Chains A and B, each alone.
Chain A
């Protein structure tokens, strides 16, 4: 099962991962990553903007690529947009596979591509002022791991 969602309101990852796991009886392993807004460095809020016609189709394509590349039984990709507070989940990726390594690697692969190769723009608020987050050199090397 490929399940890809773009959400504008806070979500509870556990409430999505439970049903996702149940949808794959006989799975060998399931690996889940949840990314949250960091509360360090005086960050008061994070805002993600996206471009609807490209962002969701891009996530869907990423999910299909990961499912095929790692021979998954299923993959769940959920991403927030809008304004988020520290501690709120931004992203949840869960992969179900017959064997653990495929599940680990699929989640790592999907996260690197969501971070560096998906249509999201981020800005963070510190001391009451918004500042856009620029691309990092690490993003390129993260992607390069996957060839």
Chain B
């Protein structure tokens, strides 16, 4: 099985898709490095939050992506 990356809001436009499957067993850095510089830079933005399997991530450095995981990248919400 793979890891599913989900891109919310305008991140989906940068990625060119709402989701992407990548191989499991990689660190977050390794996954991002494989996505190309433009998308990796957008996903590393300081205002981008992450949710792993539906729960907000407080320590991104500790993320290890296992088979079947879903990692969502959440840009700031749009507001009014």
- Residues of A with Cβ closer than 8 Å to B? 49, 51-54, 115-123, 132-136, 138-139, 142
Pairwise interchain contact A51-B79, C-beta atoms closer than 8 A: no
Q: Count of chain B residues with Cβ under 8 Å from any Cβ of A?
A: 18
Pairwise interchain contact B51-A122, C-beta atoms closer than 8 A: no
Known: A49-B8, A121-B8, A121-B10. A54 touches B56 (CB 8 A): yes
The distance in angstroms between the C-alpha atoms of A116 and B56, with both chains bound, is: 17
- Residues of B with Cβ closer than 8 Å to A? 6, 8-10, 13, 51, 53-56, 72, 74-80
Contacts of B72 in A (CB 8 A): 51, 53
Q: Could you jot down 23 A-B contacts, CB within 8 Å?
A: A49-B9, A51-B8, A51-B51, A51-B74, A53-B54, A53-B55, A53-B72, A54-B74, A118-B77, A119-B74, A120-B77, A120-B78, A121-B9, A121-B75, A122-B78, A132-B10, A132-B78, A134-B79, A135-B79, A136-B80, A138-B80, A139-B80, A142-B80
The distance in angstroms between the C-alpha atoms of A115 and B13, with both chains bound, is: 22
Beta-carbon nearest neighbor of B70 in chain A = A53
Give 4 new A-B contacts, CB below 8 A, not counting A51-B51, A119-B74: A115-B80, A121-B8, A132-B13, A142-B80
Pairwise interchain contact A54-B54, C-beta atoms closer than 8 A: yes
Pairwise interchain contact B79-A54, C-beta atoms closer than 8 A: no
Q: How far is the CB of B42 from chain A (nearest CB, A)?
A: 12
The distance in angstroms between the C-alpha atoms of A136 and B74, with both chains bound, is: 17
Contacts of B51 in A (CB 8 A): 51, 53-54
Q: How far is the CB of A146 from chain B (nearest CB, A)?
A: 15
The distance in angstroms between the C-alpha atoms of A55 and B67, with both chains bound, is: 25
